[in-house]
Structure 1
Amino acid sequence: MSRSSLSRTVEILSDARYVQAESPRWDGRDGTLAWIDMASGAFHRGRIEQGRVIPETSVLVGAQIGAPVPLAAAGAGWAVAVDQGLVHVSDDGVVSPLATDVARAGDYMNDGGADPFGRFWVGSQAMPRDPHCSLWSFDSRGGPTERLSGVTVSNGLSFDRSGSTLYYIDTLPHRSIEAFDVAPDGTLSNRRTVCRVDGGNPDGMTIDHEGMLWVAVWDAAEVRRYSPEGTLVETIALPATRPTAVALVDRLLVITTASVGLAQPTDADGALLGVEVEVGGSPALPWAGSPPPAVAARPATVGEVTR
């Protein structure tokens, strides 16, 4: 039996409201928070201070932005899935290509994250919805390997501590959390269903120190905590209808939300939300790649930092 959210207090963390905030990431290098707005193609970074998210920088990355992951070294920037490939975003806003034309034309990169071995895993989606998309892993040189085909809407993914199990969400059509065994070279096997997610669409996901899976459930106004065996452990009701993704900043569960498509959005729709939980999580795992060679000047029309 799941535990209700009666003892939880959900706070609005951000002054800003986003059309489709996604992919929150706790940066272990400096303690900052990163997130994106899919509707604007912007990559945001800020600090959490006294229960509020204080924005610091915003970079326009591309038309169809997906998930960001930090590089390992302080000051080395971020790898960001965007359009049909990956780019590098430096701390001063320079946007440089890492991998291009990976996804097929008309598709675009969506959610993703790194594994404990430094590979960046990211999947694609398409409009209209059709099961021809893929899940890739990118090595430290930015080389892609297709790990899974027949994907419709690649969304949340998390690895267990050892990296030997991948938990994964292809939101449509099955609305389920799945699991795979992961070989040392990244090969996936033993695909199985952990559980079906009813009442909404499972979206972004993170894993806590107990190996439990926190999942944002779009159109259900909930985040849910599931065991690795698929037992629903807890449900937290939210003041926002469309939660998109989650991250644990130690014991603060940060939830991104969307206002897109809502006829009468509430004050919480499109905000960053937060709720304290008992079991924390770790910072986002880094990609093992290196920044591209320094460029002479910032691109005039792509990367732009605002502070």
Structure 2
Amino acid sequence: MVETRILTEAKMSMGEGPLWDVDAERLHWVDIFEAKVYQCALDGGDLKSWKFPGQSISAFALRKGGGTVVSSGAGIHLFDLDSGEAQLIFDPELGEGYGFNDGTVDRQGRFITGMADGKLIAAITSGQTDNLNPTGNIYRIDTDLSVHVIGDPIGVTNGPCFDAAGTTFHCNDSGLRRMYAWDYDPATGEATNRRTVTEFTGDAIPDGTTVDDQGYLWVAAYHGGEIRRYAPDGTLDRSIPVPAISPTSVAFAGPDLDILVVTSRGGDAAEGDGRILTIHGLGARGIPENKFG
């Protein structure tokens, strides 16, 4: 039987980026607008938080040597939780209207993060439906901290993730409401042969995503109040309602990676809005997430 629980009483302005550390057995996530990293046990206990010295955190990953790597605004930083110090390692200098959004780590320990294209968002918000041409980049940060553009231009990067083999890269364009897949070369980190897995209609927007050990995609349906599971060919397998109007991201957690953690946007009227939710009894297992480095 599927059961959804509220993990902690803490409320986020915009919860994002849930990440289970299989080594420490601790759950991490961020509050984007408060620029905070959170950590707790899977029962909600031992809750801790750290403030990033910037206005926001849009993506977050753990480092193998300790500390974290984060995307914030138009820059990528190394962030030491203990000292609170952040080191800028990349600024694309693309000018006004661009900022980093979601991110992940590939199976080789490289950090993948992409842009939100402010011009595209403004066009969509104004009601434009034709000639929408994304110009945001997806970047790969190698373990030597060199930076490379990969894949195809994107509007709003969300839900980047990899299959177990690390040979398929998934990423959503929330601006165009499409879930994409690329062939990914583990040796070079290049992403080619983009195809559309599925496209959302109605109010729901594809947001944060993860892949289970069967290769199925679990995606937070922002504005849709549910989590959806898609087969690799884009067939909708199941939908699970959640007590949050705008779930933002998902991750498998727990010793058996069989508990789905859901972050969400705050400020709405549902019981779970802004809370960290856990879904039990799904009968699915995730894949351990890698660390950067």
* TM-score, reference length from structure 2: 0.88
Corresponding position of 1:109: 100
Corresponding position of 1:141: 144
Shift of 1:215: 0.0
C-alpha distance in structure 1 between counterparts of 2:19 and 2:85, whole Å: 19
Equivalent residues of 1:70, 1:284 under 8 A apart:
no
Which amino acid in structure 2 is aligned with residue 117 of structure 1?
A: Q
> Which of 113, 116, 120 is 2:111 aligned to?
120
Matches within 5 A, 1:154-303: 154-173=157-176, 175-183=177-185, 184-199=187-202, 200-249=204-253, 250-260=257-267, 262=268, 265-276=269-280, 277-288=282-293
Distance 1:64 1:57, change over 3 A: closer
Which amino acid in structure 2 is aligned with residue 39 of structure 1?
A: F
Which amino acid in structure 2 is aligned with residue 135 of structure 1?
A: I
> Which of 21, 29, 40 is 1:46 aligned to?
40
Deviates more, 1:139-148 or 1:14-23: 139-148
Could you list the runs of 5+ residues in structure 2 that have no partner in the other structure?
123-133
Corresponding position of 1:132: 135
Question: Secondary structure of the residue that 2:58 maps to in structure 1?
Answer: strand
Corresponding position of 1:72: 64
Deviates more, 1:14-23 or 1:276-285: 276-285
Equivalent residues of 2:117, 2:154 under 8 A apart:
no
Shift of 1:149: 4.7
* TM-score, reference length from structure 1: 0.84
Equivalent residues of 1:44, 1:59 under 8 A apart:
no
Corresponding position of 1:99: 89
CA distances 1:99-136 after superposition (whole Å, capped 9, x unpaired): 13125233221101000111100011143526221110
Distance 1:71 1:240, change over 3 A: same
Equivalent residues of 1:59, 1:93 under 8 A apart:
no
Matches within 5 A, 1:80-91: 80-91=70-81
Could you list the runs of 5+ residues in structure 1 that have no partner in the other structure?
1-6, 289-307
Count of residues in correspondence between the two structures = 274
Deviates more, 1:160-169 or 1:217-226: 160-169
Question: Secondary structure of the residue that 1:10 maps to in structure 2?
Answer: strand
Distance 1:149 1:209, change over 3 A: closer
Identity %: 29
